[in-house]
Structure 1
């Protein structure tokens, strides 16, 4: 049976717990506490989900050079010490980042002997590079991950709020769209979720932001993590949260997408099996099944189509609800989980695995796709620019010799196919067409 790979590890949960117990720090500059007032482009229509491919954006990387005080978060453990280890299976290409946004990793060198460097999303520069890539390659925008354990931490919230400000500015500057993905992993306190959305509405004013994604006249929120067996949210809590986001007199009225297990419709697999969950799932405005790790080759992808996607599409279309399945380029978390090389690998096949998912979705008439993820090198799902030259003496998943921007190129081309601007193709076009007006 194909394993299901969660989007967080036990080590990350421990980090969230530690962060939530940290002492409060007095924030300095807080750009997220006021609406964005800088340059704005409007290339991508922010009034609809229809015809869009949107990437999950973690923004969770730190370095000791960024001033946040979190060390090499999501890059490695105890880096610079004798027992250091990396926790990423892919290495980013950092050649386009400004020198001041990079940090040397102690003890790691590139094959030419130069220091190995990584970036921090706490700094604006790298995030602006990422949103520029989205425009250049024709990617519509992002769902910004916001873990409840981090957002409610007096200390860690400074990081996630700064990343929000960075993403918001980048989407304005590059004409992309953004929306919140409120991730319930690592917590089960409904009031914390409500308080955070209240903060986002009252202080950040996300609903009034011109680049914040709306659908059917409502601000879009992806509420991720209800109904999974390994997340202890109850039916009662799920109903409470859904009612709040949809019906609260002041903070409700959102277009609510449920980020749920792929077996939500049948209550099998990793979905909770209590019958009450069936009504919970169907109370969302749209459903986004988490498919990463559910299939690893063409045969298992076809089984997912037959057992999951076809039935999902038929039911939700009849009910007038939305559907946003997940596409992922491949997978690997050997370093994160201390596995033997190749043990967790789902091969990318130079992009054919990724492309075939989009072709299947187009064939099913699906008009909105979630990409997991833009920047997650921890689990080997990143689609941003990746390096084929990696630190000496370390092991990484192979980039298979494709160009460093190959998955950005494919995502942009797949967006055109999903939207109907390019014909359905079951294999990667040669070459994939650049988006009109991309400047490439």
Structure 2
């Protein structure tokens, strides 16, 4: 192992007590100590695409890449769904577009080829405590010199940024779309070049495991990716037994969801099992495989826990993948896939993190840092409609009725890093508090101080709804009675029990102070009690619970279907709030 790596580890130990800053929100959990790079254990890593380009960015491609075809970004040509918040990027990272924000300001994008982009991204990672990245390197275009030069430039940017900000990085080859006759040779030839000519593994920030540099191969065993078991063994032989020691590596395999059972998205040849057994780290793909926290729980018990048992027996490190949400309407041209998997204010993402660590995973990967194409990114994106262009259709944090700052998912990722490394308890609920949106068109107003000592659930933003405030025709005691009635219905419908006296008093006061019924439903839905006692229920069973608990009757067929669909789409709180505030529920209210 290189001496610089040992020195980095020593620096981490010496700096652990003195190099951690405690700054004001929203960056309350900043970590400035360099990340120890000799092991993957205790790491939370994000996939990093680094594939965005634009004319004039200095690359030989000199063209729009991934934002849109070469013609340039327009409402009918864009290929990404989440609009990035770029106000925190340096000016030289930005690419002008014809889009305009609601406040009349231009809406630029950015190029991954410009060094300042990666530098700022890694500064954000350091600020929030994310340990590092797995840099995706697509092998399908490595034989095209302009594309290879672009990838090399991004790799150099990532290396420099990781070294500047004390993060770690490793290369992951994605074999999607690669010539089936050349995928093995392309990976081998490129890796030898990265080692010999670019010296990437000599960086003290390159991630190692078992005294060897980590390299990933994503796509082996998928039904729609190239490769046979024999070819996969050939590639593994190179990394594990190369006569030249400098080319050897610890191998992480990005494998199909159903790799162990050899069905679904996995090739069925039993010989693939021997390939999976040779991997040092095994990482099944999960993006899009479930859509709600309940489905994530099912995925854990039915797939992830048996997977982990299989890998533990064989001494293989299991690397689960978690993701914040999913949308790809602009990429596919199918408007029905817009916000296909809602983020639920981070509750969907956090449930996956909780499951992964709770079942014993020692390393976790988030997909992705910068993947706005399919809206799985954790880097800052627009906080609300005020931060997206006036034309086109783009996802923002407020799409699901949440009130969140643009860097909310970076903050969640930082808290997740602390959970993975063991410096923060692993809890079913999100342990940090959101902050208000920061869109450029929204004027900032000082918040009233909150003197309450109530320890309410921090996973739900304080988003008052004026419709819940008493009208002039309401007497104060009637408003309090109505708020208490709403609290009681929410408890009965969502938790299946009567509200306890302290909860009834506390939440009644919050509703009287302007909090919305939706806010209350979100709090109860994300509570540990719901996750422990009710999350296992089927959507049909939970729909019936809402009807009986809130409206006091069995559901009619149409209402059952609509409520079940809402639950399946991750919108239980919204459905429950609508029922609580319905005319039918109001007809039973007696002040």
Q: TM-score range by the shorter chain?
A: 0.7 to 0.9
- Using the size of structure 1 for normalisation, the TM-score is 0.86
Q: CA deviation at 1:206?
A: 2.1
Task: State the distance in 1 between where 2:299 and 2:389 align.
Answer: 37
For 2:84, the equivalent position in structure 1 comes to 92
2:94 equivalent to 1:65? no
Change (3 A) 1:424 1:80: closer
Moved more, 134-143 or 389-398: 389-398
Paired residue for 1:362, among 348, 357, 362? 357
Q: Which has the higher strand share?
A: 1
For 2:394, the equivalent position in structure 1 comes to 396
2:40 equivalent to 1:45? no
Matches within 5 A, 1:264-303: 264-303=259-298
For 1:215, the equivalent position in structure 2 comes to 209
For 2:110, the equivalent position in structure 1 comes to 119
Change (3 A) 1:290 1:70: farther
Q: Secondary structure of the equivalent of 2:335?
A: coil
**Cα pair 1:76 1:84 within 8 Å, conserved:** no
For 1:231, the equivalent position in structure 2 comes to 225
Moved more, 395-404 or 377-386: 395-404
- Using the size of structure 2 for normalisation, the TM-score is 0.64
For 2:421, the equivalent position in structure 1 comes to 419
**Cα pair 2:176 2:226 within 8 Å, conserved:** no
Q: Which has the higher helix share?
A: 2
For 1:181, the equivalent position in structure 2 comes to 172
Rg comparison, structure with higher value: 2
**Cα pair 1:342 1:397 within 8 Å, conserved:** no
Q: CA deviation at 1:116?
A: 1.7
Change (3 A) 1:329 1:121: same
Paired residue for 2:334, among 299, 324, 339? 339
For 2:191, the equivalent position in structure 1 comes to 197
Deviations 1:230-269 (A, max 9, x none): 0121112111111111111115431101110011111121
Matches within 5 A, 1:2-41: none
Task: State the distance in 1 between where 2:309 and 2:74 align.
Answer: 56
Q: CA deviation at 1:208?
A: 1.9
Task: State the distance in 1 between where 2:72 and 2:228 align.
Answer: 42
For 2:310, the equivalent position in structure 1 comes to 315
Moved more, 391-400 or 236-245: 391-400
Q: Which runs of 5 or more structure 2 residues have no equivalent in the other structure? A: 13-33, 435-591
Deviations 1:302-342 (A, max 9, x none): 22111211111112112111010101000000110001155
Runs of at least 4 residues of structure 1 off by over 4 A? 39-42, 78-84, 341-344
Deviations 1:159-211 (A, max 9, x none): 10000000000000000000001111121311111100110110111222211
2:319 equivalent to 1:328? no
Deviations 1:383-415 (A, max 9, x none): 001123111121112312311110000001011
Indicate the structure whose relative CO is greater, using CA pairs within 8 Å and at least 6 residues apart: 1
Q: Secondary structure of the equivalent of 2:107?
A: strand
Count of aligned residue pairs for this structure pair: 395
Q: CA deviation at 1:142?
A: 0.4
Change (3 A) 1:167 1:80: closer
